[in-house]
């Protein structure tokens, strides 16, 4: 196996010899600053453990597309996670996102079928479109207190997601961001939200309680499924 590295960018892994396809673990060399476009993208190799050094600042688009990793720690040095970075990583069960990541790209964790929980650090300001869509085993998401926008369809089809607490920092939630989350029973909305896309909480038919900041907070019933029947609570109580 050979790692192709150029000017600090890990561009690709190359399986060169008989038996390379069975390699399970890779430690990325210290000094690499960027994991390049589709560097590990493959449904061929069997790598399930990758160690990223704290010299890496960027994970490029599609870097781990269809990779077989089961867990990953993204170091604090990383600032951005690109579009489709972990697209269809169907064995990924847990991911720790470094505390300095600012943006999570479109479809970054789309269709990660084994992912159960996500903690989004306090530095993240935006979550891209379809970022965690169709992650059917995702049960819990903890949002950091710097998050301002959640993209269209970001958590659409997360059928195991049980509760959502949106921090006061969130100002905009895109269309259908939490559409078709039938396991969702509890929702808390922060006081900062000014813009709701259409059908944000559509087909969340089992919602039991929605907690709002205060009685002056306006919430359009059309954001929800016509079949959902929930009780509204207020934080001030």
**Least-confidence region, from 1-15, 23-37, 41-55, 62-76:** 41-55
Q: How far is CA 230 from the centre of its chain?
A: 27
SS3 call for 20 = helix
In angstroms, the CA 180 to CA 134 distance is 10
**Least-confidence region, from 47-51, 130-134, 164-168, 173-177:** 47-51
Reply yes or no on whether the pLDDT at 183 is more than 70.
Answer: yes
| CB-based burial, 60-74: b 16+ in 10 Å, e otherwise | bbbbbbbbbbeebeb
pLDDT band at 43 (very low <50, low <70, confident <90, very high): low
Reply yes or no on whether the pLDDT at 18 is more than 60.
Answer: no
Q: What average pLDDT score do residues 132-151 get? A: 95
Reply yes or no on whether the pLDDT at 47 is more than 90.
Answer: no
Q: What average pLDDT score do residues 161-171 get? A: 97
Reply yes or no on whether the pLDDT at 81 is more than 60.
Answer: yes
Residue with the bigger pLDDT between 215 and 22: it is 215
pLDDT band at 100 (very low <50, low <70, confident <90, very high): very high
* pTM as predicted: 0.91
Closest C-alpha to 120, from 104, 106, 136: 104
Reply yes or no on whether the pLDDT at 167 is more than 70.
Answer: yes
Q: How far is CA 43 from the centre of its chain?
A: 21
Q: What average pLDDT score do residues 213-225 get? A: 89
Report residue 22: phi and psi, to 5°: -95, 0
């Amino acid at each position: 196996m050979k790692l192709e590295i150029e000017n600090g960018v890990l561009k690709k892994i190359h399986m060169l010899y008989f038996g390379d396809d069975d390699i399970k673990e890779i430690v990325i060399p210290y000094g690499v600053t960027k994991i390049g476009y589709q560097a590990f993208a493959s449904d061929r190799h069997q790598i399930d453990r990758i160690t990223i050094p704290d010299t890496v600042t960027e994970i490029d688009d599609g870097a781990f597309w269809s990779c077989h990793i089961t867990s990953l720690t993204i170091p604090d040095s990383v600032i951005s996670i690109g579009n489709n970075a972990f697209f269809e990583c169907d064995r990924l069960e847990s991911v720790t996102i470094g505390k300095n990541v600012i943006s999570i790209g479109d479809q970054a964790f789309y269709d990660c079928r084994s992912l159960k929980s996500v903690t989004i650090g306090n530095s993240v300001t935006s979550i891209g479109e379809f970022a965690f869509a169709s992650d059917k085993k995702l049960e819990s998401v903890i949002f950091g207190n710097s998050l301002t926008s959640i993209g269209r369809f970001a958590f659409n089809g997360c059928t195991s997601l049980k509760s959502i607490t949106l921090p006061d920092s969130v100002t905009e939630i895109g269309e259908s961001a939490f559409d078709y989350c039938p396991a969702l029973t509890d929702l808390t909305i922060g006081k900062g939200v000014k813009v709701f896309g259409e059908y944000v909480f559509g087909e969340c038919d089992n919602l039991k309680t929605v907690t709002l900041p205060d009685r002056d907070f306006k919430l359009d019933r059309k954001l929800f499924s016509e079949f959902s029947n929930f009780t509204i609570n207020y934080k001030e109580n």
